[in-house]
Amino acid sequence: MKIAVTRKEHFNAAHRLFNPDWTDEKNDAVFGKCNNPNFHGHNYDFFVTLIGEPDPDTGYVYDLKKLSDIIKEHVLDVFDHKNLNLDTPHFKNLNPTAENIALVIWRILRQQIDNQYELKIKLYETERNIVEYPAH
Amino acid sequence: MKIAVTRKEHFNAAHRLFNPDWTDEKNDAVFGKCNNPNFHGHNYDFFVTLIGEPDPDTGYVYDLKKLSDIIKEHVLDVFDHKNLNLDTPHFKNLNPTAENIALVIWRILRQQIDNQYELKIKLYETERNIVEYPAH
Amino acid sequence: MKIAVTRKEHFNAAHRLFNPDWTDEKNDAVFGKCNNPNFHGHNYDFFVTLIGEPDPDTGYVYDLKKLSDIIKEHVLDVFDHKNLNLDTPHFKNLNPTAENIALVIWRILRQQIDNQYELKIKLYETERNIVEYPAH
Amino acid sequence: MKIAVTRKEHFNAAHRLFNPDWTDEKNDAVFGKCNNPNFHGHNYDFFVTLIGEPDPDTGYVYDLKKLSDIIKEHVLDVFDHKNLNLDTPHFKNLNPTAENIALVIWRILRQQIDNQYELKIKLYETERNIVEYPAH
Amino acid sequence: MKIAVTRKEHFNAAHRLFNPDWTDEKNDAVFGKCNNPNFHGHNYDFFVTLIGEPDPDTGYVYDLKKLSDIIKEHVLDVFDHKNLNLDTPHFKNLNPTAENIALVIWRILRQQIDNQYELKIKLYETERNIVEYPAH
Amino acid sequence: MKIAVTRKEHFNAAHRLFNPDWTDEKNDAVFGKCNNPNFHGHNYDFFVTLIGEPDPDTGYVYDLKKLSDIIKEHVLDVFDHKNLNLDTPHFKNLNPTAENIALVIWRILRQQIDNQYELKIKLYETERNIVEYPAH
């Protein structure tokens, strides 16, 4: 009797999309205005989902207050009001696309959440651009 | 050619989270302010999804007006503007966590919806706390 | 050069609408299912607006982080996860309609916010039922 | 390492639900006010999801700007501000239910998107009536 | 002590924007794709606001259930799932722009609501196109 | 018969809040994490409202397509995917608080919109931090 429980959180950050191995022309052609060398930014909304069995004593799959505290310590305190390219170790050599941000959040939280729970991340870079990992 | 059709509904209710087999101290430690003996409450939004084949004559998987009527009779009229702990038989001996509310709604509707349709429930206790049953 | 700045906050609470001077029949006729003696509840979203001149040194009309802290101490810690009728002094003798909740929040915050700022409250009891004080 | 990327788009259109092989009485019984012979209409919001592996050079599964351009040319320019029954070839002989609109959008985009990407459509006819194809 | 109370409602309708005194060319130049002779449509969300003094016995400015019933009888039953140009007397000789729809709803409800209450209408034709009457 | 018409638009940008005449300590004390020298960013949603009389020939107060084009040319093309502090002349010597961004947008558009129309700006820096100019 698997149930999914989800917590919504958000952070605000600056980023720039580019590939340092490419010329400026190629970066402009591929990333367009997202390649602004002075950065731009977003309000990132994201949903963290854990899938597991409800505990018969509590009726909880997972205490969402505890999940929120874990997210705050390991994700929000690292990314909120930061420049993803300059201020975080995760994107020193990784392009901070929405796909990669979702993957990084998944890897960070996977180390904090017991493996009995399946873990999924859904991230809104804008209201209209959304990524999910894993995809199914 | 399976298609999912979903109807969004909502109800407003009071509830209290606690385990009657536990001490007050343990209930406070686990459920925090959700354990207020005088209750608190929520606007519960929920999505009911049916999965099936579209009818070739109508183009409908399921008439969502009919689904809405079933939800009104069997869910809203039972839970809306009620105290889940005191006013409903379902939570007399079951902690009304979001997980258990989703399970109860699923069981109620499973009896009303033909088994040719797969049934899923997604419930928002708040904008930031969400549960889904079944999980996949 | 007056600018309005607004902070959105929310709390979850139980309440019951009734007039103790009336018969049960009259309370039912006027308040309907909102008169459930076992209470029901809501996620209350509210917007606190301050109107004033921006400070030339900061560009702020009011530090919204400071406003959020004031709201937390004087409103959220008083109302969140509470039974408005039973747990708060404000509604011991005042019907906790959306109108009265907005008025009470206004009066609480008016004592905390310097009078150089005009103060307005907009409260959503549900997505579809909304009150504002003052009205203009 | 499959990731899902999603683009939200919308169009506004008129439609009428009915089966030309049925009597007026049967159409009214099944489709109710959706069978208005003078049409009614909706703001259709829809989400197009592609599932694939991120490109190691870009960090993108798919360039969402490119996806948005494909949707504009092949879906929005065909359906936006149109009468689905009268102005589009797709619904000349197909009832424009939400289910069928989602299927048609899927078929249109399936021809534009490389088969290495799994494709999913989620369509909101209203905030409360939603369809997804494929269902899983 | 004036308080504003607001009820959100919605209807779905088809319409066409054009001026019958103009040539097709001029209508196309001014109204663009909104001038489709086969109509297009929208989900119209609207907010009805009444401003008045709260009743000391109820704590209500106006019973929003009663307001919702009035809106249903006099607005939704007239406009929902209709073609505004063809099916309603109000737009036989009036272009159904968002501005005019808001004005018509205001005039309809002004006759139903006691003049002690100030009345305001806010209408969303789409999430991005909004009108209000009166403007202040 | 004044009616308000509103267009919603958005841009994504990076910014940093600080006062160059202050010490780092004072900037940190006042602006906190918003003072990150490497910048952070937001999805800025904003609403542009024009108030005027509807044109009797069109039923429009103002063509919202035309308003959207003006906003695109004079606001979005200047601010979208930019670093407000580094890439725009407006914030070279002005702290890009939400208040100041709203004022700057108002001043830009005031030069483009005929003075017969009253002009108002409402800007969401986040879902919870909102400013309006003018305030009434």
User: Counting every residue, how long is chain D?
Assistant: 136
Q: At F103, phi and psi to the nearest 5?
A: -60, -45
DSSP annotation of F54 reads P
pLDDT per position as a tens digit, A3-59: 999 999 999 999 999 999 999 999 999 999 999 999 999 999 999 999 999 999 999
pLDDT per position as a tens digit, D83-103: 999 999 999 999 999 999 999
Disruptive mutation site among F43, F86, F101 for chain A (greatest number of A CBs within 10 Å): F43
C to F contact (≥3 Cβ pairs closer than 8 Å): yes
Distance of CA F14 to the CA centre of its chain: 14
Three-state secondary structure call for residue B29:
helix
The count of CB pairs under 8 A between chains B and C is 75
What was the pLDDT predicted at E42?
98
pLDDT per position as a tens digit, F54-106: 999 999 999 999 999 999 999 999 999 999 999 999 999 999 999 999 999 99
| In contact, E34 and D82? CB cutoff 8 Å | no
Q: Is residue E33 less than 8 Å (CB to CB) from chain D?
A: yes
pLDDT per position as a tens digit, C63-83: 999 999 999 999 999 999 999
What was the pLDDT predicted at C18?
97
Query: CA dihedral in degrees (B104, B105, B108, B113; nearest 10)?
Result: -140
> Is the Cβ pair F126, A80 closer than 8 Å?
no
Neighbours of D1 (CB within 10 A): 10
**What is this model's ipTM?**
0.97
B61 CA: distance to closest CA in chain D (Å): 7
Based on the residue annotation, tell me whether A42 is a catalytic residue of this protein.
no
Q: Write down the pTM of the prediction.
A: 0.98
What was the pLDDT predicted at A92?
96
In sequence order, the β-bridge partners of residue D46 are D9, D123
Based on the residue annotation, tell me whether D53 is a catalytic residue of this protein.
no
Please report, for chain C, how many H helices and E strands are present, in that order. Answer: 5, 5
What rounded mean pLDDT belongs to chain B?
98
Strands A129-133 and A118-124: antiparallel
Could you tell me which residues come within 8 angstroms of residue A19 by beta carbon, excluding any fewer than 6 positions away?
A: A26, A27, A30, A95, D57, D58
Strands D82-83 and D3-15: parallel
Name residue B87's amino acid.
D
- Cα–Cα dist B70/B109, whole Å: 8
What was the pLDDT predicted at F86?
98
The count of CB pairs under 8 A between chains B and D is 65
| In contact, D92 and D83? CB cutoff 8 Å | no
The candidate with the shortest Cα–Cα distance to E44, out of E92, E101, E120, is E101
> Is the Cβ pair C80, B33 closer than 8 Å?
yes
Domain ranges of chain B: 3-133
Q: Considering D10, D34, D74, D90, which one is annotated as catalytic?
A: D34
- Class of the CATH-defined domain C3-133: alpha beta
- Cα–Cα dist F102/F92, whole Å: 16
What was the pLDDT predicted at B63?
98
What was the pLDDT predicted at B38?
98
What was the pLDDT predicted at E135?
97
3-class SS letters over chain A: CCEEEEEEEEEEEEECCCCCCCCHHHHHHHHHHHHCCCCEEEEEEEEEEEEECCCCCCCCCCCHHHHHHHHHHHHHHHHCCEEHHHHCHHHCCCCCCHHHHHHHHHHHHHCCCCCCCEEEEEEECCCCEEEEECCC
| In contact, F2 and E135? CB cutoff 8 Å | yes
- Cα–Cα dist C62/C48, whole Å: 12
Instruction: Extract the residue ranges of chain B whose pLDDT is less than 50.
Output: none
Quickly state the pLDDT bin for D125 (edges 50, 70, 90).
very high
Structure tokens at B88: 């409903």
Structure tokens at C9: 């906050």
Q: Considering B40, B53, B73, B81, which one is annotated as catalytic?
A: B81
- Cα–Cα dist D90/A53, whole Å: 45
pLDDT per position as a tens digit, D20-65: 999 999 999 999 999 999 999 999 999 999 999 999 999 999 999 9
Peptide bond into E89 cis (omega under 30): no
Name residue A2's amino acid.
K
Answer positive or negative: Cα dihedral of B65, B67, B73, B79: negative
> Is the Cβ pair B30, A63 closer than 8 Å?
yes
C to E contact (≥3 Cβ pairs closer than 8 Å): yes
What was the pLDDT predicted at A19?
98
> Is the Cβ pair D59, A131 closer than 8 Å?
no
The residues of E assigned a catalytic role are 34, 81, 125
Three-state secondary structure call for residue C9:
strand
| In contact, B99 and A61? CB cutoff 8 Å | yes
Give me the percent of chain B exceeding a pLDDT of 70.
100
- Cα–Cα dist A86/A81, whole Å: 12
- Cα–Cα dist B52/B5, whole Å: 8
- Cα–Cα dist D136/B120, whole Å: 12
| In contact, E14 and D17? CB cutoff 8 Å | no
Based on the residue annotation, tell me whether A34 is a catalytic residue of this protein.
yes
pLDDT, average across residues E46-68: 98
The candidate with the shortest Cα–Cα distance to A114, out of A65, A57, A70, is A70
DSSP result, E38-84: T-EEEEEEEEEEEEEPPPTTT--SS-HHHHHHHHIIIIIHHHTTEEH
> Is the Cβ pair E99, F3 closer than 8 Å?
yes
Nearest to A3 among B21, B94, B135 (CB): B135
